Structure 1
Amino acid sequence: MKKWFDKSKLYVIGAAIGAVGGFLYWNFVGCTSGSCAITSNPIRSTLYGALMGSLLLSLLKTSVKNNNQQNDI
């Protein structure tokens, strides 16, 4: 379990930050009419934020990996 967490630390952190951001977006901005597909439901908004957060930080992990490979050359 520790190996997995060390390997995917950025994904987990990004998902946590995104989930909080998605929930806060639903809470403060949200969709009052209920016609918005994502922001009308707090669970969907939180899950969408978690997905976007992990994808965003996965880009950071890729760029760190590429920089380390360039420094080895």
Structure 2
Amino acid sequence: MKNWITKFLKNNYLNIIGIVLGAIGGFFYWHFVGCTSGHCPITGSPYYSTLYGAILGWLLFSMFKPNKKKQKHIEENND
């Protein structure tokens, strides 16, 4: 059981970091900037703002994940 958890964390550590940092950023955005009237769809609720931040963090950090197929192809061509 421990093996698949370790493998999952090793393969997705950038995504997990992005989700956590994005969620924290989304919550802080709601807390400090937010929408005072409550009629804003994203920033009017801490739940939506946190979720939106987590999604943006995931998308941002997933851009930096190395492409293993591309690296393998480059290594094969260099040999």
TM-score range, shorter chain: 0.7 to 0.9
What residue number does 1:22 align with?
26
| 2:16 aligned with 1:12 | yes
Hey, what's the Cα distance between the residues in 2 that align with 1:71 and 1:15? 30
Which among 34, 45, 49 is matched to residue 49 of structure 2? 45
Hey, what's the Cα distance between the residues in 2 that align with 1:14 and 1:27? 20
Q: What amino acid sits opposite 1:15 in the alignment?
A: I
Hey, what's the Cα distance between the residues in 2 that align with 1:22 and 1:53? 9
User: Structure 1: any 5+ residue segments left out of the alignment?
Assistant: none
Hey, what's the Cα distance between the residues in 1 that align with 2:67 and 2:20? 22
Residues matched between the structures, number: 70
Superposed, which structure 2 residues align to 1:49-68 within 5 Å?
49-61=53-65, 64-65=66-67
With normalisation by structure 1, the TM-score equals: 0.86
Which among 33, 36, 52 is matched to residue 37 of structure 2? 33
Higher-Rg structure is: 2
1:5-48 deviations in Å (ceiling 9; x for gaps): 11111110000000010000000000001111000000110011
